[in-house]
Amino acid sequence: MSLIRQMWMLLVAVLLLALAGSVALSTASLRELLQAQLQMKNSDNAQSLALALSQQQGDAALMELAISAQFDTGHYQRLVLRKPDGNVALERSASAKPAQAPAWFVSLAPITAAPGVAQVSNGWNAIGTVEVQSHSSYVHDELWRSSLRMALLLTGLGAVAVALALAVLRRIRRPLDLAVAQAQSVVDGQFATVAEPSVPELKRLTQAMNTMVLRMKALFDGQAEQLQVLRQQAHCDALTGLSHRSHFMAELESALARDEGPVAAGLILLRLRDLAGLNERLGHGAVDQALLAIAHALQTYPERVPGCLVGRLNGADFALWLPAAGVAQDSASALADALRASLPAFGHGLQVALGAAELPRSRGSSAWFAAADAALARAEARGGFAVDSSTEQLPEALLQGERAWRAQITEALRERRARLQEFPVLDRQGVLLHLECPLQMQMEARAEFQPAARWLPLAARSRLTAEVDLLAVGMALEAIARDGQQRCVNVAPASLLEGSFVAHLRELVLQAPVAARKLGLELAEGAALQHFELLQELGRQLRPLGVKLGLEHCGAGLMQVERLYQAGLDYVKLDASVLSGVSGDAARAAFVRGLVIMLRSLALKVYGEGLQQAMDVQALWDCELDGVTGPWATAQSRA
């Protein structure tokens, strides 16, 4: 039972006890008063009647007439005139008059008054005694009415007291509720402070809670800074701060394997000519400054365009991957012009060669580097700030799809020509945690189902991702209702930009409340970076319904989300580019372990995706990951 409810029960009990006690005390006091007044009435009336009878000089007829007149004019139950020997000379009586008060009240508050007695005489001779006894029913009636009025008055005062107590309790409860909410937010990995109340005891509690929250936030920020240092050591070139070769290759492999992204993209390789000769002529310091200038020129691309990848492949070679079609050659030319203007400032003879390649994103990384290397070799052969490019024609099917894709996707959505793939996420014991369920669509009737990488970029270009995501969620809810297995589906960040998407998604989830508790929605890490408020709103709308919310393809970008602890997430999936090769790289393993510790402090589950090697999986278990997915997990589930 809650503290507030206990206080309410105590308050009501005290008020009821006080009300009952007040009514009982006032009734008892009034009863004593009325009983005393009735006794006095009997005595006074007896004396008055005795005086009147004494004036009749012993005339029996006149005395009987006086007694009858007295009896008829008052509320008397019995009038008796007794002779000196005690025998009854005259008597008038009436049956007891029933009281209007309830019988239980009469029995609880009895009123008994002895008859009034007075001597009757004729001069010096005693005639007898007179006894007067009044009815008590009218006294009970008056006592009942007075008690009712007292009870109503006290009830009104009690209602006023309850209203005042309610206001006070609400005032007290507000800071208590805030303190409870603040403590719950800490459990959920959020660091929120609250305003200090005016109540001294609660003020001290709030101050202590706020201090604790601020210290935990400072600890979290310090941990994030340490992770940044570990990331630099594990993923970045020491001189330029760009990704080193192995990390750039892992990032590129991950980018090519994802469903979202353009149909075609570009890769630029840049080489500083004659690095060894430059070191001899200009010195290492000047050459290092030139390399930093090249890195700065390349770094402007990912800062302005999300999804760009930049890396230093070796001492003289740099790479830039552009997730857009038709921009590789122009970007290479722009880079050459910028470096032609800036590099001579660091010494004579500084020149670069650039090779650009543009290919479909479905091609493997080896094909990308082969085409870009060939273009770079041709550029080097020409000398100076030379640029060469290589472009591969897109397959006819893709070109035709770009022209007719909207009609095909719309028709496929209308006819529900789609299915969910299922990839397991396993924990350390091999237990299935949930199924990843990317959507495949049949672009033409009776044709093969196509993975999202083929049609999702086209759907995003025409703002159809919201309809696609609603179809995927609906199919996942139906599958959960059939077998009860937890499933997660991908939601495109572009869908969050559709004004009615979240409302339609909530309505869809409300139609299957039981299955919704086993549904997970995953968004790419970029959603937290670019649409943080929309991500928060999605969580506020769906998490109370039992829907889990997570981020996928996560890496260094997590540390750029300043309010990650407020995002309202349940789990994150670390990208393969962060986890690949972790078994043979101590610095990478240290970064992953630190990242897991930070995320665990925010009450988040941490999974790894895209795992292929058993040694990497074992290293990740040592880093305390909650689960893994990828080719290794799929093979294990089938074994």
pLDDT at 116: 84
pLDDT surpasses 60 at 546: yes
What is the mean predicted confidence (pLDDT) over 556-573?
78
pLDDT at 491: 93
Of 609 and 72, the structure prediction assigns the larger pLDDT to 609
Spell out the SS3 assignment of 334-369: HHHHHHHHHHHHHCCCCCEEEEEEEEECCCCHHHHH
Locate 173 and state its tokens: 């409860």
Tell me the C-alpha to C-alpha distance, in Å, between residue 52 and each of 120, 132, 326: 9, 14, 132
Locate 525 and state its tokens: 């890490």
In which region does residue 319 sit, left (phi positive, over 0), alpha (psi from -120 to 50) or beta (all else)?
Answer: beta
All structural domains of the chain, each given as residue ranges with its CATH number in brackets, are 3-159 (3.30.450), 241-394 (3.30.70.270), 416-638 (3.20.20.450)
* Mean pLDDT rounded to a whole number for the chain: 85
Q: Would you say 294 and 272 are in contact if contact means Cβ atoms under 8 Å apart?
A: yes
Percent of the chain with pLDDT strictly greater than 70: 95
pLDDT at 3: 64
Sheet with strand 418-420: strands edge to edge? 418-420, 439-442, 449-450
pLDDT at 549: 95
Least confident of 169-183, 236-250, 387-401, 604-618: 387-401
Measured at the CA of 381, the angle between CA 376 and CA 387, to 5 degrees, comes to: 45
What is the mean predicted confidence (pLDDT) over 328-332?
91
Q: Is the dihedral of CA 212, 217, 223, 225 positive or negative?
A: negative
Least confident of 327-336, 411-420, 442-451: 442-451
What is the mean predicted confidence (pLDDT) over 399-406?
61
Rounded to a whole number of angstroms, the CA Rg of the chain reads 47
pLDDT at 522: 94
Please classify residue 387 by burial: count the beta carbons closer than 10 Å to its beta carbon, then call 0-12 exposed, 13-18 middle and 19+ buried.
buried
Of 295 and 347, the structure prediction assigns the larger pLDDT to 295
Which residue type sits at 115?
A: P
Percent of the chain with pLDDT strictly greater than 90: 33
pLDDT band at 178 (very low <50, low <70, confident <90, very high): confident
pLDDT surpasses 60 at 92: yes
pLDDT surpasses 70 at 268: yes
Locate 433 and state its tokens: 């945690």
Measured at the CA of 52, the angle between CA 48 and CA 53, to 5 degrees, comes to: 115
pLDDT at 395: 54
pLDDT at 394: 54
pLDDT surpasses 60 at 40: yes
In angstroms, rounded to a whole number, what is the distance separating the alpha carbons of residues 417 and 45? 107
CA dihedral 232, 238, 243, 249 (to 10 degrees): -110
Of 247 and 7, the structure prediction assigns the larger pLDDT to 247
What pTM was computed for the model? Answer: 0.68
Which residue type sits at 55?
A: Q
Locate 304 and state its tokens: 């302005």
pLDDT surpasses 60 at 333: yes
Measured at the CA of 399, the angle between CA 397 and CA 405, to 5 degrees, comes to: 85
pLDDT band at 96 (very low <50, low <70, confident <90, very high): low
Tokens 């292929």, located at residue: 612
In angstroms, rounded to a whole number, what is the distance separating the alpha carbons of residues 162 and 528? 49
For residue 425, give the 3-state DSSP assignment: strand
pLDDT surpasses 70 at 2: no
pLDDT at 173: 73
Kind and range of the H or E element at 520?
Answer: strand 519-524
pLDDT surpasses 90 at 295: yes
pLDDT digit string, tens, across residues 590-622: 889 988 888 887 888 999 999 999 999 999 999
pLDDT surpasses 80 at 225: no
